Structure 1
């Protein structure tokens, strides 16, 4: 009986969420343009709607502005967002630095930063990767030298997503070059408007301006902007990466992507859809089976996390399987789209519809190209396999 009642409650919650998205998702965002083509304020429209509702960070503890939802409700929320193809909220603010601040930050830091993250008034980017330190973050060389109540920061971060819009960057910096690699790193919060901070765009394979180089030239950062203790930033960095990699399973978004794939494959070409071909149908089925297995594993782990256990090697597992499954879905979508997938989105005046091919086909190639990065960022999948080998197999 309890399970039946819970199922009814979940169904009612799902309908509430679905209705809210349908009625309140901004009309200006109901375009099919890639998010990189929207300006900063356009990207924040949905965030501001959700903040007014109290739903901008439902996974946060209620004391810091979270919605107080169960793990099941959070999963339903993500499913409905994906099904409605809403613009994802900025993970760097809400999923990454926010939890670090409310877990390890001072009361002053919490009071200063958390409300502005929730409201969207502060846009954050991530300063981890460097030209010589990508997945091997212990080799960061950006230096922070103590000068009274400030650090003087010099260095170079790269692949910094959406830094062109950012108000703040959370950065790993080396504060003790004499210490062992992982023991001499600190975690700083740096105002992007500080003198000496500069941003240079990197144009990616799909033609988008999504990532950037960020340079620090004698940037003065108050010591009060350091999270936790000096030289212990690796502890906070690992906590953040655990949250980031767990979220990379992204099963609701993959579920929506595979549903779209099926629609494209059933419609293209008219009269002889590729989904009727046994070999292609097997590949779609294989991807969907892998996704369902990942969904089941994800729910089991999230329930354990809800009871107080931090994700361990499972974070690496989610990162590996989630990104590889999504890449396979986008690869199959390009195969299903055929010639329509070769149409450049920008050449059609920034709109996907109407177009001659089935829904979704016109951006299939762009999505496939962009998905190449997923097995690299957040710690490459090769590094994640090494983590699993060490933590689980003792190798």
Structure 2
């Protein structure tokens, strides 16, 4: 038993483990463990299983159909899901838009969209980043011009994760081009079936196309799809990002990855002995594990503050930087441990009948390594986070 958790929290962890053992389909967890691409149906089936248990929206109030878990419970659930290779809950409707609508949406928007998010009737994607407006999001250029009872939207969004599956997109758009950058932005809900929207896939280093460009050409959006007030979207965007970063450290994924590296290193041999006994490899593995233990402790401190009602501060940036560095180090250790077996990384080379020869544990390693290079970029690049840390902790400065 982990003495850093209370008896109630330890009991909750056991409840989560029993649920996953009983309800998580083995075929689905095997796909996650082997790094195979999940279909829209895979995500929807896991979504439905969690919704039936009432665990789909851990951070929502019970009044809206959520589990209303505290920060520690959410951390435990996310960690156990990662360790047992459950699919990640697609966050855009549940963890991002849902809280924004609950705080800033109209009664009509809450009544219409929140049940549809829980039931899986709408699949949402996020329209934030643009070419030239990533970390500097306030410089976005997608325009929305009021025309009677509609907005006419023109522009481009990029890195739109799983946009190819989406029915709806929530977008930041510029409604006042003459205002200061943060003061002329609005938050719109847009039906992806509206004429003038085009989704173009972006093929990534691992061969997948999980992200997209989304183009808007004279797209008509009803005025009632505006969330909150016109030109106040930056306030809602910042509120959304606090929810996006609640699990930014990725401790559960790093723990699962570290256990996978250990299994690989016990199976692989060098000079006639298991790789895990190689002093150079063992030392690097030990450094990663020590860093992860320190990260987990720091993460729990922040979670405890959140559970006490304190808003996360610069600690979120610290966890983002260190968490992504550790996950990328673990990915690199796995790749090095597999040696030449880690060479294939295109999705068609690791799945089904076309899989190349080699141990099963090597098949997802290169794909995970290449895909997770993004970790230090999305959610606020590590360079930007280091600037935030320096400015906040050291004061002022250039």
2:7, 2:285 → 1: CA distance?
Answer: 32
Contact persistence 2:144–2:175 (CA under 8 A) = yes
Aligned to 2:168: 168
Q: Does 1:317 align with 2:318?
A: yes
Aligned to 1:194: 194
SS class of match (1:31) = helix
TM-score scaled by structure 2?
A: 0.92
- Going from structure 1 to structure 2, the CA distance change for 1:240 and 1:352 (only over 3 Å counts) comes to farther
SS class of match (2:394) = coil
Cα displacement (A) at 1:220: 1.1
Contact persistence 2:72–2:303 (CA under 8 A) = no
Aligned to 1:49: 49
Aligned to 2:159: 159
1:231, 1:20 → 2: CA distance?
Answer: 44
Contact persistence 1:36–1:209 (CA under 8 A) = no
2:133, 2:162 → 1: CA distance?
Answer: 19
2:29, 2:252 → 1: CA distance?
Answer: 19
1:233-312 correspondence runs (5 A): 233-269=233-269, 271-312=272-313
Gapped regions of structure 2 (runs ≥ 5) = none
Aligned to 2:387: 386
Q: Does 1:339 align with 2:340?
A: yes
Cα displacement (A) at 1:27: 4.4
1:227, 1:24 → 2: CA distance?
Answer: 36
SS class of match (1:156) = strand
Cα displacement (A) at 1:86: 0.7
Cα deviation digits, residues 243-270 of structure 1 (max 9, x gap): 2233221111111111111111121127
1:355, 1:314 → 2: CA distance?
Answer: 44
Q: Does 1:231 align with 2:211?
A: no
- Going from structure 1 to structure 2, the CA distance change for 1:392 and 1:228 (only over 3 Å counts) comes to farther
Q: How many residues are treated as equivalent by the alignment?
A: 391
Contact persistence 1:36–1:210 (CA under 8 A) = no
2:175, 2:158 → 1: CA distance?
Answer: 19
1:374, 1:179 → 2: CA distance?
Answer: 33
Cα displacement (A) at 1:63: 2.1
SS class of match (2:316) = helix
Cα displacement (A) at 1:32: 2.4
1:37-116 correspondence runs (5 A): 37-116=37-116
1:212, 1:262 → 2: CA distance?
Answer: 35
Contact persistence 2:174–2:186 (CA under 8 A) = yes
Cα deviation digits, residues 115-169 of structure 1 (max 9, x gap): 1212222111111111121111011000001112211100000111110000111
Aligned to 2:17: 18
Contact persistence 2:71–2:306 (CA under 8 A) = no
1:244, 1:360 → 2: CA distance?
Answer: 31
Cα deviation digits, residues 191-219 of structure 1 (max 9, x gap): 11111111011101111011111000111
SS class of match (2:363) = helix
1:56, 1:98 → 2: CA distance?
Answer: 12
1:45, 1:37 → 2: CA distance?
Answer: 15
2:393, 2:108 → 1: CA distance?
Answer: 39
Cα displacement (A) at 1:355: 6.0
SS class of match (1:92) = helix
Contact persistence 2:170–2:187 (CA under 8 A) = yes
Contact persistence 2:348–2:354 (CA under 8 A) = no
1:238, 1:50 → 2: CA distance?
Answer: 28
SS class of match (2:246) = helix
SS class of match (2:114) = helix
- Going from structure 1 to structure 2, the CA distance change for 1:373 and 1:119 (only over 3 Å counts) comes to same
Aligned to 1:29: 28
- Going from structure 1 to structure 2, the CA distance change for 1:304 and 1:11 (only over 3 Å counts) comes to closer
Gapped regions of structure 1 (runs ≥ 5) = none
Cα deviation digits, residues 279-312 of structure 1 (max 9, x gap): 2112111111221222112222122222222222
Contact persistence 1:205–1:370 (CA under 8 A) = yes
SS class of match (1:227) = coil
1:120, 1:306 → 2: CA distance?
Answer: 29
Aligned to 2:132: 132
Cα displacement (A) at 1:28: 4.4
Over aligned residues, Cα RMSD in angstroms?
2.2
